[in-house]
Amino acid sequence: MKSNELSIKMRPSIPAFKRRARVLSWITLAIMMVWLLLPIFWAVLSTFKTPIEIYKVPVKIFPESFSFKNYLAVLTDSDFPRYLGNTVFLTVVTTVLTLFISFWAAYAFARMRFPLQHVLLLAVLVPRLIPRISVVIPLYRMIVSVGLLNTYTALLLTYTVTSIPFAVWILTNVFQSIPKEIEESAFMDGAKLWQTMLHIMVPIATPGILAVIIFTVRETWNEFPFVLSFTTSAALRTLPYQLFLFRDTLGIENWPLINTFAIITVLPILIAYFIFAKQVTTGIIQGAVK
């Protein structure tokens, strides 16, 4: 994009340095890629090995034959659809709820003026600083006292409530950056609020909406402390929770199988990421800089 032309502009007279900087950058990048990917590669390679194979001395890096037995074993496990189903269900419902609630709130915060506005905005935004783990204990006590332990409701409520602050934050910023005139002309033409939203605001705010979806999906799909604390029943188990238990329940750890399960649980997120890579990166920058 931009940076190509500027690097030409930037150092017009010192090509020797430029080449050195470039070589250095490539070397750095290579080392960093090893650091980033080696842990994953080592786990992925083991998913094609047999339990005996991985204990061999000296260590064999590549599997003797690429067998997909472990993947088949995980995917055909009779409980797997339930874990996957739970994770998908919680992720979808949380994301939809978060988006719906935050969208309207953000619109009101960005566009309307009303008494107590700032107090209410703070009430939503300040909890963004509260990390999930730090509210596990009081939430657990509240959930116990209303009898919601081991329910989807408890998980959906706590997931949504911890996702809303960030979503309101992002969307309020997005709406503030859209010129008012655009919707005002729609209102003049007699459009209803929801029509204006659906046909005008949603399309313009799409990058922000995508950022919210990406963040909420990532958070919910990977969520661990809440599901660990608020559920004990196997019927409610999510993929990360099952992965955690999987590690423990086997006497001798069947590493190829555990790693296969781990890889399968992260694959959907990674595939989605590679499809929306650009938006994810923009969304992350938006979310963190502000």
Partner 1 sequence: MKRKPLFNTVYWRKRLLPYVLVLPSTLFVFGILGYAIMVAIKDSLHKYPMLATSGKFVGLDNYVSLFQTPHFQHAITITFIFVFGTVILGLFLSFVLALALFNLSEKARIFRTITLIPYLISGVAAAIIWRFLFNGDVGFVNPLLEAIGLKPVQWLSKGTNALIVVTLANTWKIFPMSTILLLAGLQVIDKDLYNAATVDGANNRQMFIYITIPLLGSYLATCMIWLTFASFNMFSIIYPLTGGGPIRGTEVMALYMYRLAFGELNFSMASAVMILLLALNVIFSLIFIRLFRNKTV
Q: Check binding of 233 to partner 1 (CB under 8 A).
A: no
| Residues in 116-175 at the binding interface with partner 1, rule: CB under 8 A | 117, 120, 123-124, 127, 129-142, 145, 157-158, 160-162, 164-165, 168
Minimum CB separation of residue 240 from partner 1 in Å reads 4
Q: Which is nearer to partner 1, 37 or 92 (CB)?
A: 37
CA angle (135 as vertex; 134, 136 as ends), nearest 5? 95
The residue to which tokens 């409610």 are assigned: 236
- Using the contact rule CB under 8 A, the part of the chain among 13-21, 67-75, 77-85, 175-183 near partner 1 is 13-21
Q: Which is nearer to partner 1, 127 or 207 (CB)?
A: 127
Q: Which is nearer to partner 1, 17 or 66 (CB)?
A: 17
Q: Check binding of 268 to partner 1 (CB under 8 A).
A: no
The one among 62, 65, 112, 179 contacting partner 1 by CB under 8 A? 112
The one among 29, 34, 182, 234 contacting partner 1 by CB under 8 A? 29
Minimum CB separation of residue 141 from partner 1 in Å reads 6
Q: Which is nearer to partner 1, 4 or 76 (CB)?
A: 4
Minimum CB separation of residue 81 from partner 1 in Å reads 19
Cβ proximity of 221 and 267 under 8 Å = no
- By rule CB under 8 A, what count of residues binds partner 1? 104
Minimum CB separation of residue 288 from partner 1 in Å reads 5
| Residues in 269-288 at the binding interface with partner 1, rule: CB under 8 A | 269-270, 273-274, 277, 280-281, 284-285, 288
The one among 146, 247, 250, 275 contacting partner 1 by CB under 8 A? 247
The one among 86, 183, 255, 257 contacting partner 1 by CB under 8 A? 255
Q: Which is nearer to partner 1, 19 or 199 (CB)?
A: 19
| Residues in 38-97 at the binding interface with partner 1, rule: CB under 8 A | 38-40, 42-43, 46, 54-55, 58-59
- Is the torsion defined by CA of 66, 68, 71, 73 positive or negative? negative
What's the CA gap between 40 and 212, in Å, rounded?
27
Minimum CB separation of residue 4 from partner 1 in Å reads 6
The one among 83, 90, 91, 109 contacting partner 1 by CB under 8 A? 109
Q: Check binding of 108 to partner 1 (CB under 8 A).
A: yes
CB atoms within 10 A of CB 284: 14
- Using the contact rule CB under 8 A, the part of the chain among 71-79, 178-186, 198-206, 251-259 near partner 1 is 251-259
HEC per residue, the chain = CHHHHHHHHHCCCCHHHHHHHHHHHHHHHHHHHHHHHHHHHHHHHHCCCCCCHHHCCCCCCCCCCCCCHHHHHHHCCCCHHHHHHHHHHHHHHHHHHHHHHHHHHHHHHHHCCCCCHHHHHHHHHHHHHCCHHHHHHHHHHHHHHCCCCCCHHHHHHHHHHHHHHHHHHHHHHHHHCCCHHHHHHHHHCCCCHHHHHHHHHHHHCHHHHHHHHHHHHHHHHHCCHHHHHHCCCHHHCCHHHHHHHHHHHCCCCCHHHHHHHHHHHHHHHHHHHHHCHHHHHHHHHHHHHC
What's the CA gap between 260 and 253, in Å, rounded?
13
